[in-house]
Structure 1
């Protein structure tokens, strides 16, 4: 009789089983989100600046292509209501959104928009692509809140921030070159292939052991999930109550000011770099790549420190630090031709900006109510991104009317950051926790 040697059966990959897998998977998911950001926030604006487009034109486009990120206001509750739990709480939505992202990049390549004429076709493509990217973001954030232990969130947020920053830095530089060599349609196809590779990770990594890999496969819903679907009205009532808590409103105002400034920077920075400093669009994209990647690495390294010392403290430092950088640039106009000076300030400002991004996510996760945490967090992020589009549109109109110079633009951005930092000093996490506990108590009384 032949002797058979038993081989150990490989255990299916599940996020809740392995910390390294959680960190790796969420970093890759955020990298996928960075791909369209790199194309529409670095490559295309730099190419437009190279062609002599104005700040107002670039801001108009930025406002439209970033608007879909506000869809989180709608998508979040929808995902909470309709779930296919045998495949996980949010994983089916991640797969669906990322598949749509791949398809929309292919659609952009077939549509063949041009940079030389009207910006409307590019805006339409950006809206469609970012609609899927924003939906993927909502699903990934909900998955992260669901499977990440609280003591891992600082490090995970730092790595997720690194993933997104690395994605848009790499693809900002790559797509700028691809636009020059094979056109915008070639850049779109390259983005589609890249996001498709990350889709494979989503397909093979489950949320929890025992769940289905695909709808037709074997598996069942985890006992960790609440199997009873709640009505949209109930979710909406809970969301309304927790969003109106004082500390929640305060943080939303802080983030509104910060993202309003981001919306201004989306148009000012590429035009300033290309038309004032004298960089080519490729040089600007390359510089953005190294600057953003370095800042992302710093943010990832600071993850454990954020867990240890608190996100609020780091956010306060980052807001004030970024404001100082803007003020210095505005005051020292005579040094704009000094490349070492401008590079140093840009790198320091990028580091502060990445720290703001990472710590803001961590704080918003902390103040979420467990009953509606995924939807609540999605709404925070949606309002933040809507603020960015508002900043782009408002400043485009103001710039056209007042004909502001770069100096005044930097002072406006600095003022927004300073006010945000001053408001943040009033944030009290323990007070918010007490109010959330009261919401839980009130909910239990209602359910009796």
Structure 2
């Protein structure tokens, strides 16, 4: 085929990652939002829903194991990360079929949790592969805009899954809902299947093509080299601050976004369909906003400045919800709250992820970025695990106040993070490694 490779076309790079992250959002929309809202509608307890949330979040901590494997092992004739992307899509397809056939899921929560864990594991691998490919093929000057496209398209995928999945769940069955998501994943998998990383590479193992010299040069085949480089870069003060930033923010979001469907269903009279529809609308607005404005605003005004604004807006909205209880039954307010929250949440995530990508060393960029995201996933688990203990012991107002407190901690970490210093330290490490390599070859 004569389709240009990702390395030669900015348009195809953006298109490829829009599709990959849209696919990532499809199962996430159901297992992180749609199914918990459905369980709440069916009368399941907060602790039961929290257990499901933990089962969905736990696999995302395994990315710290997968990332170095992706750097160390691949099938270079098909690209450095593309084989992993395709393998993860196959896993998504099979696990969606598997969860669709869980018998009587409402009365078989243990099996549902196991199936969701497997599906989320495949989603975590797909996310790690997509992140690694992005770090490999997206130039530095396109990273902020690419992150806007990526996070926005993930939200659009999540919203589409919520609309279609929740509709099918209530009109037909759980099985039909999950199989519908599976069909969408199968169709969209043709994009990474047909787009090579580098020109001249194979589409599939049995087709014509060969390894790219550039990919072969980038490929690291030594575990000691990978591990030493990772240790050095994660020993930097600002690397630790980035870890804390993604941990706290992702934990806060997961905590709050699992409380929201329970809160709305139990306190406003909404059904899971009502909640899914408004959340999907919010994700469409947030996704489009992320694609159109997310990267642009960061490029124009700076990452830290914009994230501070986003944190402030989200905290202000939540405090309004806390202190004006009469608004809880106001449908217009709750609609506006969820939509505005998801819009600024999308912008904040774009900014934090762009910081994480910028603070990566090129020597181990894929592993380092994925490890940042793994710590974020660990934070998500912590946030999900706090749902039951906090809500069982505190009121809705105090539970939401915890979320504001988490954001305040994240704001403080962001304030003391020095991105320029991190880049300077990384450049020094890369120069040192280059000089060592020259001495070895000389």
Task: Please report the TM-score for the alignment, with normalisation by the length of structure 1.
Answer: 0.94
**Cα displacement (A) at 1:300:** 1.3
Q: What is the SS of the residue equivalent to 1:336?
A: helix
> How far apart, in 2, do the equivalents of 1:173 and 1:420 lie?
32
> How far apart, in 1, do the equivalents of 2:414 and 2:298 lie?
16
Q: CA RMSD in A?
A: 1.5
Q: 1:360 aligns with which of 352, 358, 381?
A: 352
Which residue matches 1:7?
none
CA contact (8 A) 1:52 1:275 kept: no
> How far apart, in 2, do the equivalents of 1:98 and 1:331 lie?
45
> How far apart, in 2, do the equivalents of 1:323 and 1:55 lie?
24
Q: Map 1:8-19 onto structure 2 (within 5 A).
A: 11-19=2-10
Matched, 1:210 2:200: yes
CA contact (8 A) 1:31 1:167 kept: yes
CA contact (8 A) 2:40 2:265 kept: yes
> How far apart, in 2, do the equivalents of 1:414 and 1:100 lie?
37
> How far apart, in 1, do the equivalents of 2:388 and 2:41 lie?
19
Q: 1:412 aligns with which of 397, 402, 406?
A: 402
Matched, 1:338 2:343: no
Which residue matches 1:107?
98
> How far apart, in 2, do the equivalents of 1:244 and 1:60 lie?
34
Q: What is the SS of the residue equivalent to 2:170?
A: helix
Structure with bigger helix share is 2
CA contact (8 A) 2:279 2:338 kept: no
Which residue matches 1:79?
70
Task: Please report the TM-score for the alignment, with normalisation by the length of structure 2.
Answer: 0.95
Matched, 1:380 2:372: yes
> How far apart, in 2, do the equivalents of 1:112 and 1:13 lie?
45
Q: 1:190 aligns with which of 168, 173, 180?
A: 180
> How far apart, in 2, do the equivalents of 1:285 and 1:45 lie?
10
**Cα displacement (A) at 1:446:** 4.3
Which residues of structure 2 form unaligned runs of 5+?
A: none
Matched, 1:315 2:307: yes
> How far apart, in 2, do the equivalents of 1:157 and 1:384 lie?
16
> How far apart, in 2, do the equivalents of 1:326 and 1:118 lie?
35
> How far apart, in 2, do the equivalents of 1:164 and 1:118 lie?
29
CA contact (8 A) 1:59 1:266 kept: no
> How far apart, in 2, do the equivalents of 1:376 and 1:107 lie?
32
Bigger shift: residues 92-101 or 356-365? 356-365
CA contact (8 A) 1:54 1:271 kept: no
> How far apart, in 2, do the equivalents of 1:223 and 1:399 lie?
56
Which residue matches 1:5?
none
CA contact (8 A) 2:40 2:262 kept: yes
Q: Map 1:23-62 onto structure 2 (within 5 A).
A: 23-62=14-53
**Cα displacement (A) at 1:52:** 2.1
Matched, 1:325 2:317: yes
> How far apart, in 2, do the equivalents of 1:113 and 1:241 lie?
50
> How far apart, in 2, do the equivalents of 1:229 and 1:182 lie?
50
Q: What is the SS of the residue equivalent to 1:38?
A: helix
CA deviations on 1:181-239 (whole Å, 9 max, x unpaired) are: 22111112111111011111111111111111111111111121244542223211211
Q: In 2 relative to 1, CA 85–324 (structure 1 residues): closer, same or farther, beyond 3 Å?
A: same
**Cα displacement (A) at 1:54:** 2.7
CA contact (8 A) 1:315 1:356 kept: yes
> How far apart, in 1, do the equivalents of 2:76 and 2:221 lie?
14
CA contact (8 A) 1:43 1:176 kept: yes
Q: In 2 relative to 1, CA 12–267 (structure 1 residues): closer, same or farther, beyond 3 Å?
A: closer
Q: 1:125 aligns with which of 100, 110, 115?
A: 115
Q: 1:135 aligns with which of 125, 132, 143?
A: 125
> How far apart, in 2, do the equivalents of 1:180 and 1:445 lie?
63
> How far apart, in 2, do the equivalents of 1:44 and 1:299 lie?
25
Alignment length, in residue pairs?
436
Which residue matches 2:256?
265
> How far apart, in 2, do the equivalents of 1:395 and 1:111 lie?
26
**Cα displacement (A) at 1:38:** 1.0
> How far apart, in 2, do the equivalents of 1:208 and 1:308 lie?
31
Which residue matches 2:425?
435
**Cα displacement (A) at 1:445:** 5.0
> How far apart, in 1, do the equivalents of 2:316 and 2:109 lie?
34
Which residue matches 1:93?
84
**Cα displacement (A) at 1:395:** 3.3
CA deviations on 1:93-130 (whole Å, 9 max, x unpaired) are: 10011011101111222333512x24211111111111
Which residues of structure 1 form unaligned runs of 5+?
A: 1-9
CA contact (8 A) 1:273 1:279 kept: yes
Matched, 1:167 2:157: yes
Q: What is the SS of the residue equivalent to 1:224?
A: helix
Bigger shift: residues 275-284 or 388-397? 388-397
CA contact (8 A) 1:247 1:427 kept: yes
CA contact (8 A) 2:156 2:283 kept: yes
> How far apart, in 1, do the equivalents of 2:222 and 2:387 lie?
40
